[in-house]
């Protein structure tokens, strides 16, 4: 069974994380080391996560209550929750269907005197040209925040030079994961200093918490093996357990009832050490291999079924596919050894009261009848082609019989 989303971390990295939980050291030096590894010009800020980073940015800015933030209309709900926690209004900018990028021509219709910032997200592993958004932000004197959580490319891309803040994630299911942590590149030195002052008041995540996380992901990495995961799937079926619910609960970072307390922490010393190891040891060849597998899959599947696949460059962090009957296609794929799922953490950003006319129709449509295919560099081309062979008859028929 090809697992839906392999945890992108090796046993040596996990072992080093465990060892670092046991070794004392200077946390301040570890922070400096991570930030220097990311940005030699002193513009980086290491934090617990991208969510923590956005919260830090908005806390430091202290924008007037009621200020509006233009937001890519497809994102994780937590980002909108953070915006609203600061008394701000998230205004969705609907997306282009083929590229999953915010529609530039909508921006002029949505900007108002209350608009203070814009948050754009690179989705699914694709990274789009930020220049039109930079030009718009500068023309209207807006702050520009760039969410690169799904578009990590190693040191090939550290954020747009004209973005006010570029945010990168090393959370559990991200490329080059450190099982947590985020790095922000901040253009304004005064804003960066204020963010650091705010973060310095937070408690430090405990070593024991991070040790528990490491041990848990050792277990998940073991289960992520092709044969072991297949046995795990069969066991879930026999026990009547919902596989999607079980896996999603296992990778939840921030419990709902403790959300802001959980994200308002400083990263622990062992997390920082693992984060630096993942940044400095990242092999871009691995990313190139995954991108090649994704390009092969996108080439052979109908373009109108693959949201965002035409965005370039594209690393195919995940591969969404729109189908007519998701449950039937997922059943066929799983019976063929491919653990597809319809579950995902993205949601359309709904328009707030008083902002009629900006309903994110296209963004909502991108999530209709969508499934996510297993895809990573370790999957041979022959297996990618076999998965395509399973899919094409189902896409052509609109349904197709589920395999026994």
Domain boundaries, the chain: 11-200, 284-397
- Name which residue leads in pLDDT, 370 or 227: 370
What 3-state DSSP class applies to 15? helix
The residue ranges of DSSP E strands in 66-198, in sequence order, are 68-72, 74-75, 89-93, 115-121, 143-147, 165-169, 182-186
- Our CA dihedral for 336, 249, 236, 379, rounded to 10 degrees, sits at 30
Confidence of residue 160 (pLDDT cuts 50, 70, 90): very high
104-108, 218-222, 236-240, 259-263: segment of lowest average pLDDT? 236-240
Contact 50, 167 (CB under 8 A): yes
Closest CA to 119 of 31, 54, 22: 54
- Tell me the C-alpha distance between 191 and 53, whole Å: 12
Query: In sequence order, which residues have a C-beta less than 8 Å from that of residue 93 and are 6 or more positions away?
Result: 70, 71, 72, 73, 102, 103, 106, 107, 110, 118, 120, 358, 360
Residue 335 predicted with pLDDT over 50: yes
CATH class of 11-200: alpha beta
Confidence of residue 40 (pLDDT cuts 50, 70, 90): confident
Residue 257 predicted with pLDDT over 80: no
- The phi, psi pair for 309, rounded to 5°, reads -70, -20
112-121, 210-219, 263-272: segment of lowest average pLDDT? 210-219
Percentage of the chain surpassing pLDDT 70? 88
**Model's pTM, two decimal places?**
0.90
Closest CA to 122 of 91, 148, 152, 159: 148
Q: Own/partner pairs for 86-90, CB < 8 Å, 24+ apart? A: 86/55, 86/58, 86/59, 88/58, 88/63, 88/116, 89/114, 89/352, 89/355, 90/349, 90/352
Q: Helices (H) and strands (E) in the chain — how many of each?
A: 16, 11
pLDDT at 298: 96
Closest CA to 372 of 314, 310, 328, 306: 306
Query: In sequence order, which residues have a C-beta less than 8 Å from that of residue 111 and are 6 or more positions away?
Result: 70, 136, 140, 142
Q: Own/partner pairs for 2-5, CB < 8 Å, 24+ apart? A: 2/226, 2/337, 2/338, 2/339, 2/374, 2/379, 2/383, 2/387, 3/224, 3/226, 3/229, 3/339, 3/374, 4/247, 4/339, 4/340, 4/341, 4/372, 4/374, 5/173, 5/318, 5/372, 5/374
Query: In sequence order, which residues have a C-beta less than 8 Å from that of residue 38 and are 6 or more positions away?
Result: 44, 46, 158, 168, 183, 185, 279
Select from 1.10.645.10, 3.30.930.10, 3.30.2270.10, 3.90.1150.10 the CATH code of 284-397.
Answer: 3.90.1150.10
Closest CA to 339 of 222, 232, 220: 232
Confidence of residue 25 (pLDDT cuts 50, 70, 90): very high
Residue 357 predicted with pLDDT over 60: no
Residue 119 predicted with pLDDT over 90: yes
Q: How far is CA 279 from CA 10, 238, 284, in A?
A: 14, 41, 11
- Tell me the C-alpha distance between 245 and 374, whole Å: 17
Contact 76, 252 (CB under 8 A): no
């Amino acid at each position: 069974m090809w697992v839906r989303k392999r945890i992108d971390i090796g046993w040596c990295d996990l072992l080093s994380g465990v060892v670092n939980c046991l070794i004392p050291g200077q946390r301040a030096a570890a922070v400096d080391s991570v930030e220097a590894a990311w940005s030699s010009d002193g513009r980086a800020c290491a934090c617990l996560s991208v969510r923590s980073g956005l919260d830090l940015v908005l806390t430091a800015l202290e924008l007037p209550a009621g200020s509006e933030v233009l937001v890519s209309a497809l994102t994780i709900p937590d980002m909108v929750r953070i915006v609203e926690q600061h008394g701000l209004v998230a205004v969705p900018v609907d997306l282009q269907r083929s590229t999953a990028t915010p529609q530039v021509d909508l921006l002029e219709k949505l900007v108002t005197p209350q608009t203070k910032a814009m948050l754009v997200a690179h989705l699914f592993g694709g990274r789009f040209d930020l220049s039109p958004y930079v030009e718009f932000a500068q023309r209207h004197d807006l702050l520009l925040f760039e969410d690169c959580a799904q578009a990590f490319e190693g040191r090939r891309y550290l954020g747009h030079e004209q973005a006010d803040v570029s945010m990168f994630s090393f959370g559990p299911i991200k490329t080059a994961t450190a099982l947590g942590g985020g790095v922000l590149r901040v253009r304004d030195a005064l804003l960066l200093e204020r963010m650091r002052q705010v973060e310095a008041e937070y408690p430090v995540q405990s070593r024991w918490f991070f040790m528990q996380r490491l041990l848990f992901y050792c277990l998940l990495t073991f289960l992520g093996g092709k044969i072991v995961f297949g046995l795990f799937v069969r066991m879930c079926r026999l026990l009547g357990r919902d596989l999607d619910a079980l896996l999603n609960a296992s990778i939840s970072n921030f419990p709902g009832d403790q959300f802001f307390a959980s994200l308002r922490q400083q990263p622990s010393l062992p997390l920082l050490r693992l984060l630096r190891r993942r940044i400095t040891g990242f092999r871009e060849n691995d990313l190139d291999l995954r991108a090649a597998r994704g390009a092969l899959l996108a080439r052979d599947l109908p373009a109108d079924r693959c949201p965002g696949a035409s965005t370039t460059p594209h690393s195919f962090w995940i591969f969404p596919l729109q189908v007519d009957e998701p449950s039937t296609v997922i059943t066929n794929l799983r019976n063929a050894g491919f653990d597809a799922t319809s579950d995902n953490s993205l949601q359309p950003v709904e328009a707030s009261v008083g902002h009629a006319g900006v309903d994110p129709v296209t963004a909502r449509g991108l999530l209709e009848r969508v499934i996510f295919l297993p895809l990573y560099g370790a999957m041979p081309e022959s297996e990618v082609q076999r998965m395509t062979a399973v899919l094409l008859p189902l896409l052509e028929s609109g349904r197709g019989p589920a395999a026994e």
